[in-house]
Each structure stands twice: as structure tokens, then as C-alpha cells.
Structure 1
Amino acid sequence: MLLMWAKACFRIDFARLTRFRRTNRIVTVFNARAVTIYLWHEIALILAVPLIDRFWDVPAFETYLPLESQWFMFGVGWLLIGVFVLLCGWVEDVAARRKPRLLP
């Protein structure tokens, strides 16, 4: 939604992202695994909270990681989403009658 708003307000053309190999790959993976990301993102954010709570028991993590930061929780959530995409993303391929792949 934010990207659509930015495109309308600032007249940004996101098609330019496909010109660069790395960003094209990221967009391709996000498009191919959109349903998996949508289905698992809330669970990942919910699981991030007790996971970060366990980090407080490790003195090195408590000292050197920003455990109280919302951005840290956001990052842990994205790592968990990545794990869910790797574990469950192939189901999207099976549902679409394509050959299952780890990453598209």
C-alpha cells in the first residue's frame, strides 16, 4: 500500500527496479512467495516476542543487542518470515501446479 501511495504521490516508476539484477531477483522472490509471506508474517511477528524474551537470559545478547528496540523485533520477524518461506514456500508451487523449488 505504501508503494502504491508513493507511486501516485511522487510519480515513481518501480519498473526501473527490474533493470538491476539484484533488485529484480528480490522482487521476483517476493512475487513468487507473496502468499507464503502474507500467511506467515503475523505468526512470525508473534513468535519474535517470546524469542527476544529468551535473548534477555544471555548476558552477551543483553549487553550488545538492542533487545528493547521495535526495529530489532522487526528484523527478527523478517528472519522468521525467511525461514517460513524456505520451509513452506514450495507449497505455493505445488498449489500452482509448478515444479516445487526452494526459491523461485
Structure 2
Amino acid sequence: MITVHLRYEIDPDKLDDFTAYGRTWIRLVEKHGGTHHGYFLPSEGDSDEAFALFTFPSLAEYEVYRTASKTDPECVEAFDFARSTGCIRRYERRFLSPVFDGA
């Protein structure tokens, strides 16, 4: 299992656009076989930082999703939305291995 952690630097004046972007990707990740754990938006503290977490059963299945997202019309539309609104300034991606309670 692999969990992808995304850290976004967002435009705080375009939080509504980023929220719409996030809601779209939750569904799209799940459409392509992943489990989305949500987007986490600024509340207090830094107003230009947001996070997202989603999991795929393996790194190989994540790579299938990444390849498919480049041509899936809904994914392309979501990428274009972020570019056209400028709601995302930049992002970082990390790959994590989750640990769960063994009970």
C-alpha cells in the first residue's frame, strides 16, 4: 500500500476554486482505483497551505492512475481548471507507507 501526501501552496483569495478542484479529484482518484482521504484546507495559521492524502494498493497501481489521468477527459478538465483559475501556486508530492493498529 502506498499513500500519496500532497502539500499545496494555494492562492488564499481563490480558496473556493481550490475547494472545487479538491472535490473533483476526490471522485477522480476513486474512479481510478484509489481511496481518497480528503483535502485539508487552511483554517488557522498559514492561509496559503493545503494538503491532500490518498492511497493506492501499490505503487504500480498508482502509476497506472497517473498514466490514465493524463488522457482521462475529466482529469484533463480538472488540471485545466487549476491552471486557468491559478488557485494552485505549486505543490509537492511525497510517497508514504501507512502503519495501522495491528489489532
Q: Considering only CA atoms, is the larger Rg found in Structure 1 or Structure 2? A: 1
Greater share of strand: 2
Greater share of helix: 1
Q: TM-score over 0.5 for the alignment?
A: no
* More contact order relative to length (CA 8 Å, sep ≥ 6): 2
> Normalization by structure 1: what TM-score?
0.29
